Amino acid sequence: MNTQALIKKSSQFLFNNLKRLPIVFERGEGCWLYDLEGKKYLDLVAGIAVNVLGHAYPKMSEVIAEQSKKLIHTSNLYQVRYQVELAEKLASISFADKSFFCNSGAEANEAALKLARKYQKVNGHPERFKLLTFEGSFHGRTLAMINANASPKFRKGFEPDVPGFVYLPFGDLQVVQQLLEKDTEIAALLVEPIQGEGGINIPPSGYLEGLRKLCDQHGVLLMLDEVQTAIGRTGKMFAYEHTSIQPDVMTLAKGLAGGIPIGALLATDKVAAAFQPGDHASTFGGNPFATRVALCVLEGVQNELLKSVQDLGLYFLNALKDLQTKKDIIKEVRGLGLMLGIELKQTLPNVVQQAMQEGLLINCTHDTVLRFVPPLILKKEEIDWALGVLEKIL
């Protein structure tokens, strides 16, 4: 079946809830994808920051093949060896003591919200049920999480709004302080260390430290949504490691198993203790297959890639800034590690398609921000090639 035939079947049999580009990939290798007709594309999207080890990473493929022949799923009615080993690994490299595994970032954030409400209730504050989030944030597309996303566009058509969500501007500590001083119903604050879907927005220096202090002063949990920023994406295993703070709760997903669906809720012992048997669960979450692959991905990122992400990220960032000096359309270049973006002065509706025609896969978010979240195995010469394409199309 060729590309056009498959696109025709897609419109016939699939929900029309996604705006897909007219391209079908057959295989991948490293940072490159190949379509049904054999054309190759440099992948600077990586499944939206998921494929941290690229495509067909040899060690990951070996683990997937081996585990698929042994055991894929048993449910959480029983102990799961690799789930325990993954939780132990995450505890050893993060602030957290306990992990809960699910299937996606939205599920992890849903679990975090439930945990925050339960924690406040068992600690004598049943009145604390609200979740504070920030303009430009993105926490998922379940019914609760579209209400956690501060942007009204995610909720349009799905009204009435779910109660219990409060929104404030991102990066402004004073407004958070003013809210917490008057609203005693806030249970937790959920924030991305760097906003991804919102346009690669980096908060001012000291912002997370300020939020930590305010949360401590007012008995509010600090929950970090590291669904996109974790697993080496910013040059550290977790983005909060660029600061001096530790959260109470953190959510993970995208890069955790390099493309195999998994999500995780991490917390300190004190906070995790609020969940008792029956409070929360997941049928597929943390199965032997996904958790063993996640262990392989963590090992690959930790042992081989963190330093190179820092170096390549800086090289890529500076190259984009050089491009800005040549192209008046570029308003700003920003990002950290291999989570980078360029904000354009105006919308260029065909820029993603033009890049695709040149063999470069990029993503446009927030209408005017080109987002680059490539595999962490990206090479310098691949960055140079991508910059040549961007210079041509902008």
What residues are labeled active site? Answer: 138, 225, 254
Q: Using CA atoms, how far apart are residues 394 and 376, in angstroms rounded to an integer? A: 25
Exposure string over 286-311, b if 16+ CB within 10 A, otherwise e:
bbbbbbbbbbbbbebbeeebbebbbe
Dihedral pair phi/psi, residue 100, rounded to 5°: -125, 135
Strand partners, 186: 130
Number of residues written out for the chain? 394
Query: 237, 251, 253: which is closest to 290 by C-alpha?
Result: 253
At 88, list the tokens: 């132990």
